Structure 1
Amino acid sequence: MTNPLEDIKGFFNEKGQLKSWPAKRSRKLVAVEFLAGKFEEGRTYSEKEVNAILDEWHTFNDSALLRRELFENKWLDRTLDGREYWKK
């Protein structure tokens, strides 16, 4: 079985950070799953903490896009006001 990250290896820099966001939906899903792996289950994060983690793992300066993708793809859930996040 192939490693799904192989399909998006061109989107990473030498430090293992996403350097751009894939256009293809299938590749986006792999990237979102990669980012979701950076969060612990059973822990609640503030929006600021989520942004800090995401900023460690991407270089294109769009943590809002990544937060939204994690939420919309059901990797993270959040309070209605968006102040707290947790891994599903």
Structure 2
Amino acid sequence: MFKSFDGFTDDYGRITAWPSDKRTQHQMAILDHLTGLFESGRIYSPGEVSTMLRDHADESLEATLLTELTEGDYLTSDERGYWRADSRPTGANTPTREE
């Protein structure tokens, strides 16, 4: 079970701070919350990801959150965009694996 991240949000529920590395459970709670905002199987453009992160977090955290989401394997990306790592995109926009 993840810890709450209420101490890292403002009155509107927007994330305003990134927890220290000693608070990994709080970090995971934030990343899990943000991942839940992305639809499974859908590709998001970099602009859509930026907008989503800015809607739910302080703009100063956008780069940190995107890095944490991708390096933590919550989101995956290629030249076409980003998608939830737990579900490959479907349909005509499905990225192909280059081997």
What range describes the TM-score normalised by the shorter chain of this pair?
A: 0.7 to 0.9
Whether the 8 Å contact between 1:20 and 1:60 is mirrored in structure 2 is: no
Unpaired segments ≥5 residues, structure 1: none
* CA drift at 1:5: 5.0
> What's the TM-score, normalizing by structure 2?
0.75
Residue 18 of structure 1 aligns to a residue in which SS?
coil
Could you tell me which amino acid in structure 2 is paired with residue 14 of structure 1? D
The residue type equivalent to 1:48 in the other structure is G
Aligned match of 1:29: 28
Q: Aligned-pair distance for 1:62?
A: 2.4
Larger of the two Rg values belongs to structure: 2
Q: Secondary structure at the match of 1:61?
A: helix
Tell me which amino acid in the other structure corresponds to 2:81: E
SS in 1 for 2:39: coil
Aligned to 2:67: 68
Query: What is the match of residue 14 of structure 1?
Result: 11
Runs (4 or more) in structure 1 with deviation over 6 Å come to none
Task: Quote the Cα distance in structure 2 between the aligned partners of 1:60 and 1:51.
Answer: 9
Between the aligned partners of 2:74 and 2:42, the Cα distance in structure 1 is: 13
Percent identity for Structure 1 against Structure 2: 30
Provide the rounded CA distance (Å) in 2 between the counterparts of 1:28 and 1:51.
Answer: 19
TM-score of the superposed pair, with normalisation by structure 1 = 0.83
Distance 1:60 1:30 in 2: 19
RMSD: 1.6
For the 8 Å contact 2:17–2:61, the answer to whether it is kept is no
